[in-house]
Structure formats: structure tokens, C-alpha cells
Amino acid sequence: MEKKSVSLWIISGLLVALTSVGGCLKGEQGPMGPPGLLIPGTVEGKVKLWKDYYNLEEEAAGVEISLETSLEDLGELPECRDTTEVDGTYSIEDIPAGIYTMVAQKEGYGTMKQYSFSVGGGTSYFSPDICRVAKAPASVTAEQGTIEIDSELIPAIEVSWVPADTTLWNRYWIYYSTEVSFEDATFIGQVVTSSPSGIFIYNLSAGEYYFGICADNGLYYVDETSGEVVFPTVSDLARTAESILVTETAGEGKKAKMLIPPLAQR
């Protein structure tokens, strides 16, 4: 008789646990999560909002934090979300236990994600940095020139650009290609600056080249569905209007290199 009463207590307790699983905020039902993890949880944190590569915004309000499930039949949970206060804080309560993808987004800023995020049985913390989407340079030009290395004058291409906004610090990615489409482009280097700047590319083999630059603010994450690295703040590519013909070169058989003048660096 004693054994039977214990069994009934266990079953009763299980029923209580099962009926306690609800939705987040307004009661939307989400995934049940790993076996044995049935207690809803809370996600909270503090978002840092960046206006450029080096500087934070004065306020961090208006960032939407949401949860996505990896289960295709459930999709996004519309009520599992909150918007940050002025200081960047937020809190989402009563989230069904499970494994989620956390998403932080705001119009004009790069969306950040964190995959395989566990929720249930307590408080989990998600405190991402998000930054403004960078603007492509207003113009990019290239011309032939020379640079001096070890007292020797070497043919080089001077690539210059003007930022779209000289009040903002951005990281600029520099590419060259033999195709105007840039489908087969080579990354040569990067520069962080807020001013009109220029670099020199040397050791290019003889040929016809186009040069392009995009701006970025340094944040990234790995998309677990594709395995690709995502740079959410990168701009479109701005490129030279015309190609440059390289006929004289000191770099046949050598790898192309980039020289950054001191004024192009912070």
C-alpha cells in the first residue's frame, strides 16, 4: 500500500510539471526542449549599440530581442520578444524550455544572432553588441604611381577613397579583380579610418585591374545553418569606374602586397 501511494505521488507531480509549461509573455506555446527540461525560463541582458567601429551610441533603446526555434513546423515565436530600454536592458519571461536562436535587430543596424541558446529552469543571458550598417565609400579612384622600399622605387597602384560620412570610423576592406563584375576578387587588406585615405598595391602581375572597397564595423557571427561567417554591418562594394592597365611590375611571380601610408591609419 505504501508503494502504491508513492507511485501516485510521482504521477501527480509529473502532471503538475506538464501543465505548468506555458508560453512566453502572452501565452504562446513553444518547443518543449530537451527531454526532462520542462520548466519555463527567462532571458535577459544588456545590449551595446555602436554607431561606428570605435564609438558607442549615447542611448541603446529600440533594439528588438526575439527567439527563433530550429523546428520548421513551429517557426518564429511571435510573442517571445522584448525591446530594449534606453540603457540597453531587456527581459523576456515565461519562455517554454528549449533550444533557440537569439536575434537582436534594429532598423539601420546589423542583425546579430546566437545559435544553440538554451532556455529553461532559470535565467539565461544574451547581451550582444550591434552596430550601424556601414555606408559604402562615396568614391573610389586608382592611378599608377611608385613607392620607395629599401631605397628602391617600385611600380604601384595608388587606391584612394572618400568615406560617405567622415564623422564615423569604419573598417574598409580593399579588393582587386581582373573582372568588372568582381565575381573573382582578391582581398588585399583593410584600413580603419574616418578620413579620405589611400593605400598602395604593388607586386601586381601585368594585366588589367579594377579596384573596389566596402565598409564594415567589425562585428560578425557564424551562421550554423550554412557554416558561413556573416558580417551584418558590411556595405555594398564601391569600385573604380575604369580599369588600370599594369604593364611595368617588379612583382612577377610574387604575391601582391599593400602598403598603408601613416596618414591612413589611426
Summarize pLDDT for 171-216 with one digit per residue, the tens: 999 999 999 999 999 999 999 999 999 999 999 988 999 999 999 9
Distance CA 115, CA 100 (A): 7
State pTM to two decimals: 0.79
Nearest Cα residue to 173 out of 265, 222, 129, 238: 238
In the chain, the amino acid numbered 148 is E
List pLDDT tens digits, range 68-123.
Answer: 886 554 455 557 899 999 999 999 999 988 899 999 999 999 999 999 999 998 99
Please, which pLDDT band fits residue 248 given cuts at 50, 70 and 90?
A: confident
- Is 232's pLDDT higher than 50? yes
Best mean pLDDT range from 19-28, 147-156, 211-220, 247-256: 211-220
Nearest Cα residue to 195 out of 170, 178, 174: 170
pLDDT at 53: 96
Burial code (b: 16+ CB inside 10 Å, e: under 16) for 96-120 equals bbbbbbbbbbbeebbbbbeeebebb
Which one-letter DSSP state was computed for residue 263?
G
Q: Cα-flanking dihedrals φ and ψ of residue 17, to 5°?
A: -65, -40
Domains recognised in the chain with CATH numbers:
22-131 (2.60.40.10), 139-264 (2.60.40)
* Angle at 139 (CA atoms; ends 217, 195), nearest 5 degrees: 55
**Distances in Å between the alpha carbon of 122 and those of 41, 59, 222, 266?**
5, 29, 27, 45
pLDDT at 72: 54
**Distances in Å between the alpha carbon of 95 and those of 76, 99, 100?**
13, 11, 10
Please, which pLDDT band fits residue 252 given cuts at 50, 70 and 90?
A: low
pLDDT at 148: 87
List pLDDT tens digits, range 6-62.
Answer: 333 333 333 333 333 345 543 333 344 444 457 889 999 999 999 999 999 999 999
Which one-letter DSSP state was computed for residue 47?
-
SS3 15: helix
